[in-house]
A and B are shown apart, each in its own frame.
Chain A
Amino acid sequence: MMDFLTLIQVLDSTVRLATPLLLACLAGLYSERAGIFDIGLEGKMLMAAFFSAAVAAVTGSVWLGLLAGIASSLALSGLHGLASITFRGNQLISGVAINFLAAGLTVLIAQDWFQQGGRTPSLMGGGRFNAITLPFADSLAEVPALGPIYSELLSGHSILVYFAFLAVPATWWILYRTRFGLRLRAVGENPAAVDTAGVSVVGLRYAAVAICGLLCGIAGAYLATALQAGFVKDMTAGRGFIALAALIFAKWRPWQAMWACLLFGLLQAVALRFQNIDLGGVVIPVQVMDALPYILTVVILAGFVGKAIPPRAGGDPYVKER
């Protein structure tokens, strides 16, 4: 049923679908490892998707669009930080508010600026991230087996895809090999100890939330300016929540996060390619494939396959003195 070329195409699709998940998942990882739960990933991605597409459409430069997307996502991160760090509000409620805010604001501003029913004009030429062809991709395409893998699977993605996958080792290194990373993890487990050591809990948490905003911004820009050529309302379509599921599935660890996102991306790619899958008489409906990421996450959360223990201080605002 599945020949080699089909397999390569499905994996290629997996990489494209996993990239926004991976960026959002790493974003959530920084934030949650520092003790700030963030269910506003979806909203931040959506906001960034809109502003990146809008600015790219107006200026014709996708890089300015990317910057605008990151800036808008950072602004929402700042809001989340203000509510949940400075004012010690409920982090989940703040996250929900951000999702609603983004869903409404994007369409409202888009309608006001472009009068196209809450979408941006289609991006042309320099307004989009184009696919990068890796060196020798065309000449190596004829090599059996390895050729297609290199030219189809590894080559021909936008620069943000390569950035996303490089961000995985970078995140691992930052978290486990730098002083900042140690403190970041500590502030999510036991902020009082960090405070006692004379390190600012508030500062660390704001830094984590800012990194989260940066990565969400890139994820949104990838959706609107690399995968698509413009913004459409609600275009994130729940990817922020799948990224959260992947984060739990990966138990808040970077390498595992990458594998979880690739797995969820693969499930989507297979579902899109084959729709209803016929396994020797038993037909798996496409809905099962769509629901699998959530089912797997619940299985993990329920403790059937290892135990997912969130950062201990996650969700608790830090109060210095009582």
Chain B
Amino acid sequence: MTLMKSLMGAAASIALTAGAALAEPALIFDLGGKFDKSFNEAAFGGATRWAEETGGTFREIELQSEAQREQALRRFAEAGANPVITMGFAMADPLSAVAPDYPDTKFVAVDVNWLDTPNIRQIAFAEHEGSYLVGMMAAAASKSGTVGFVGGMDIPLIRHFGCGYAQGAKAVNPDINIVANMTGTTPAAWNDPVKGSELTKAQISQGADVVFAAAGGTGVGVLQTAADEGILSIGVDSNQNHLHPGKVLTSMLKRVDVAVYDAMKAGTEVETGVFTMGLAEDGVGYALDDNNAALVSADMKAAVDAAREKIISGDLKVVSYYENDSCPAVKF
């Protein structure tokens, strides 16, 4: 035990001195893990890009349990990492507890925008705007007049995605039928591709021929089943078009990588406050590449790009689910 203690003490002091000397940025991944093919992996991609371009290094940790959130924050702050970047809305509470204790350290919180601590850069994404665009594409690509939405865990954020999607679909075809399902109400809903498959099959039997999956690992099952059954699917967060070339209509991009890259590039000078990354900031968007070029017609692209311009200029307003916890276009 004493040996263990002294070893850990030594390790900690080494980490402390190293960190203080360099003031590296630190990145805390959420429970989904660094390689989730979506949210956290995008952050890792942004950090890697920064490291390759500048030759810098960054520290990182993949959280394994809820209890580690505050511990990881304190450890990085103590070690002199600056800025400390966190992923996911669940970091809000630990941040509001830890950040005031380290006024000289800058924190960056992705998916958080409701704290009033001065040394946090809070970045929220306008997911409903990006979802609106892919909703338009879904309605335009649908021949049956029915499109589907498969959410992961039933939380407001996922309803926020679904709400924007439904509004976009309704904008193209006011009579469209939207089938919206959630996988579950526990975190297991993020990793249940079998249930995702069954939901997709159920939606197909209700006539859906385009399905949008905002469901983490469950989405893998949705995209797979859609490809097997010969209908189109829409990926989320990262560009998932390559998973089934020619079968994935597009992906709703959430540019977490840009947010992380920018924060690391600004380094200790990073600007704090609340920031929203929407279409105007290229924080959200839709993916177009070789894998789906044949699926997106010129008309479809023109319509979506026009809507994008309108949303940016403020002529078109996409209602956010958060505004009054309900959606005008679809019932969950």
Contacts and interface: CB of A to CB of B under 8 A. Distances in A.
B202 A232 contact: no
Nearest to B44: A117
Given A117-B37, A118-B35, A235-B191, A229 B224 contact: yes
Contact of B191 (A20, A229, A234, A286): A234
Interface in B1-43: 33-37, 41
Contact of B194 (A107, A118, A223): A223
A269 B194 CA distance: 12
B87 to A, nearest CB: 14
Interface in B153-211: 181-182, 184-185, 188, 191-195, 197-199, 201-202, 205
Nearest to B331: A276
A233 B221 contact: no
Interface in B231-255: 243-244
What class of interface size applies to chain B in its complex with A?
20 to 34
Interface residues of A, number: 34
Given A122-B224, A234-B188, A272-B181, A117 B202 contact: no
Nearest to B244: A122
Nearest to A110: B35
B198 A16 contact: yes
A237 B194 contact: yes
B202 A272 contact: yes
Given A116-B35, A232-B220, A290 B191 contact: no
A171 interface: no
A17 B195 CA distance: 9
A238 B220 CA distance: 18
Interface in A103-122: 107, 111, 115-119, 122
Contact of A122 (B33, B184, B194, B243): B243
Given A9-B205, A272-B181, A235 B37 contact: no
B145 interface: no
Contact of B217 (A233, A268, A273): A233
B36 A117 contact: yes
B111 to A, nearest CB: 19
A196 interface: no
A228 B198 contact: no
A13 interface: yes
Interface string A221-239: 0010001111011110110
B35 A228 contact: no
A275 interface: yes
A235 B193 CA distance: 7
Given A116-B35, A118-B35, A235-B191, A17 B224 contact: no
A218 to B, nearest CB: 15
Contact of B198 (A272, A286, A290): A272
A205 to B, nearest CB: 32
A235 B194 CA distance: 8
Given A115-B35, A118-B35, A272 B194 contact: no
A272 B35 contact: no
A56 to B, nearest CB: 14
A6 interface: yes
Interface string B298-328: 0000000000000000000000000000000
A139 interface: no
B220 A233 contact: no
A269 B182 CA distance: 14
Contacts of A13: 198, 201-202
Nearest to B190: A234
A93 to B, nearest CB: 21
A232 B193 contact: yes
Contact of B220 (A119, A237, A268): A119
Contacts of B205: 5-6, 9
A53 to B, nearest CB: 11
A152 to B, nearest CB: 10
Contact of A232 (B34, B201, B217): B217
Interface of B: 33-37, 41, 181-182, 184-185, 188, 191-195, 197-199, 201-202, 205, 217, 220-221, 224, 228, 243-244
13 contacts: A20-B194, A107-B33, A117-B36, A117-B37, A119-B37, A119-B217, A122-B243, A228-B220, A232-B220, A233-B191, A272-B198, A273-B202, A290-B185
Interface of A: 5-6, 9, 13, 16-17, 20, 107, 111, 115-119, 122, 223, 227-230, 232-235, 237-238, 268-269, 272-273, 275, 286-287, 290
Ranked nearest first, the 9 interchain pairs of A and B with the lowest CB-CB distance are A117-B35, A237-B192, A273-B202, A234-B191, A232-B217, A9-B205, A272-B198, A237-B188, A228-B193
